[in-house]
Structure 1
Amino acid sequence: MKTIDMYEVGPRDGFQNIKEYIPAETKMAIIDGLVQAGIRHIEVTSFVSPKAIPQLKDAREIVTACLRQYPEVDFMALIPNLRGAETAVAVGMTRVAYVVSLSASHNKANINRTHEQSYQALKEIRETYPQLDVIVDLATTFGCPFEGKFPASRVVEFLKDYVDLGIREVCLCDTIGIANPGQVRDILRAVQQAYPQLELQVHIHDTRNMGAACSLAAIEAGVTKIQSTLGGLGGCPFAPGASGNLATEDMVYMLNEMGYDTGVDFPWVLALAKKEVQLIPTGVYSGHHIRIDAASRCFR
């Protein structure tokens, strides 16, 4: 039975899009529920300026509580710059995510940097904090709202500098949800052949209801790390047309039913997704998915 690691990114990628501040106690209640359900990899926040994303102003508090209560869980945070890395190290984090877009246009729209600026910023982080385990999130891997789709060779070419910098893990992100299973297989095959040493994750948005199909294609191509958000929460305001993420409970159900070992209790995580709807009143309940009006940076 093949083991699949579910990477829950809702507490960062989902919550940051909600205008109304979610109390830290509510966030922790959901994170507690995720841990109780069996999730062992959680991206809990981003160390970003509260002026940019007011929702994540409690990042230090959340991370401190998570590390204290659940030392066995792999907690991560997104860092946009050196200051974010400094804060992550100060509060005791050892794993962080750093985002850059394959699309130059989306990189500028999302994080207001050129590709060269993004690379130099990460180089500075690596030199200053070599002990940090940095995962590169490659946004718009499967298509950009401004530049369209890219060939697999472009992904391989773009990643070379980051691999040479010492990056050992990359998450390939379908930021606007336009990937298809064949494209996922083709890009993964090219990246795996070029960089067999890389650990790979996928992060698929569910804009066209193909999040599960594309994630399954990635698994069949050898990927064992799948990102998702509880209730399908999230979206990218800097990527026109993007809707929510792949729902954790949907993916867990499918994989458990197929005989994969996710280590996640489906009834528990489904109940938690329904509870999330009650805890976050700004959500629009549809089935058991939450669709949110995006109002802040998505970073992915």
Structure 2
Amino acid sequence: MPEQKAGSGLAPESVFESVRIHEVGPRDGFQSLDTVVPTEVKLAVIEGLVGAGFDSIELAAFVNPRKVPQMADAAMLTRRVLETFGRERFRGLVPNVRGAELACEAGLRRLNFVISASESHNRANVGRTIDESVVELIRVRERFADVDLRLNIATVFSCPYQGRVPIEDVDRLVSIAHANGISQIAISDTMGDANPRAVREVVEHLLATFPTIRFFAHLHDTDGMAMVNCHVAAQLGIADFETSVAGLGGCPFAPGAGGNLATEDLVNMFESIGVSTGINLERLLDVARYVREQIQPNPSGRLVLRQPKE
């Protein structure tokens, strides 16, 4: 795993030779669509992602199906996937203890717990105050001590309801997670309006303040800056990135936000400058084209629009 390196400025590209791409399309992508994707289509996408070389795939969100009907098949989908591919590479998103129970009952042992740094967005997203979500996080950590638990912090840079989010609010959540034995934390640009300067300031601050935490970057592309923001984060020492095949999805509870950065575009960027991702780009593009044909005819990704190689 690439080592994170904090610094006071942009480091030369030579400090990072590889990055790890975490595919979130089966969860973050599918849950944001207006229509429900058939389980068989989801399974085909996941099979393709495994074939492309992904060793980290977020399968589903274990949430209230009345609020997010696209995830109503989460348990069934998870069981079928784990029966075929094993559970090592797969994760589930949970907002509370009940979600963790359902995910573990389905066979998962790797969970992402989501809390927003913005009070307003946390209420809209999971129906709780931040403090209430923190209580749930600690309960999940205590009850499922053997689970690989990651905290995903939403609205790190800005919130659709209250604007800019103070870095102190992010620090508080990181500190709580660290105090409870959580050493993996994803920082999310939920609105997709962060710029390279903001990314540099936040990443430098977090790496310097919490040197033992492994940070992930989940950067949306509303303003078209996600690609350069990822490059900046990688130069500073972030080695893990969450993206979605064909650019599917984004937060359904963030009005005005655009979608995810397309996984194939980020893989192409890193590979083109000599940074290894371990992903077979052509196989990934096959998956992105399948998504375009079966799910989203107008994807936000760029590379998926090019013609397949003969």
TM-score normalised over the length of structure 1: 0.91
Match of 1:101 in 2: 116
Match of 2:85 in 1: 70
Give the conservation status (yes or no) of the 8 Å contact 2:58–2:91. Answer: yes
Runs (4 or more) in structure 1 with deviation over 6 Å come to none
Match of 1:83 in 2: 98
Name the SS for the 1:176 alignment partner: coil
Is the aligned partner of 1:258 residue 2:283?
A: no
Q: Deviations over 1:226-278 (max 9, x none)?
A: 00001111122321220110000100100010101101111221222111111
Give the AA of the match of 1:157.
Answer: R
Match of 2:196 in 1: 181
- Residue in structure 2 matching 1:117, options 127, 132, 136: 132
Aligned residues: 289
- Tell me, in whole angstroms, the C-alpha distance in 2 between the residues paired with 1:268 and 1:129: 36
Percentage of matched positions with identical amino acids: 38
- CA separation of 1:211/1:233 partners in 2, compared to 1, >3 Å: closer, same or farther? same
Give the AA of the match of 1:278.
Answer: E
Match of 2:171 in 1: 156
- Tell me, in whole angstroms, the C-alpha distance in 2 between the residues paired with 1:116 and 1:6: 31
Match of 1:141 in 2: 156
Match of 2:12 in 1: none
Give the conservation status (yes or no) of the 8 Å contact 1:233–1:289. Answer: no
- Tell me, in whole angstroms, the C-alpha distance in 1 between the residues paired with 2:196 and 2:61: 30
Is the aligned partner of 1:28 residue 2:43?
A: yes
- Ranges in structure 1 where 5+ consecutive residues have no aligned partner: 291-300
How far apart are residue 21 of structure 1 and its match?
A: 2.1
Q: Deviations over 1:279-298 (max 9, x none)?
A: 11x543567589xxxxxxxx
- Ranges in structure 2 where 5+ consecutive residues have no aligned partner: 1-15, 305-310
Match of 2:211 in 1: 196
Give the conservation status (yes or no) of the 8 Å contact 1:8–1:39. Answer: yes
Give the AA of the match of 1:25.
Answer: E
- Tell me, in whole angstroms, the C-alpha distance in 2 between the residues paired with 1:88 and 1:55: 16
How far apart are residue 28 of structure 1 and its match?
A: 0.6
- Tell me, in whole angstroms, the C-alpha distance in 2 between the residues paired with 1:113 and 1:258: 43
Give the conservation status (yes or no) of the 8 Å contact 2:156–2:189. Answer: yes
Name the SS for the 2:163 alignment partner: coil
Alignment of 1:177-256 (within 5 A): 177-256=192-271
RMSD over aligned Cα atoms? 1.8
Match of 1:284 in 2: 298
How far apart are residue 209 of structure 1 and its match?
A: 0.8
- CA separation of 1:224/1:285 partners in 2, compared to 1, >3 Å: closer, same or farther? closer
- Residue in structure 2 matching 1:59, options 74, 77, 92: 74
How far apart are residue 67 of structure 1 and its match?
A: 1.7
- Tell me, in whole angstroms, the C-alpha distance in 1 between the residues paired with 2:227 and 2:215: 17
- Tell me, in whole angstroms, the C-alpha distance in 1 between the residues paired with 2:141 and 2:169: 24
Identify the range of structure 1 (219-228 vs 121-130) with the bigger mean alpha-carbon deviation. Answer: 121-130
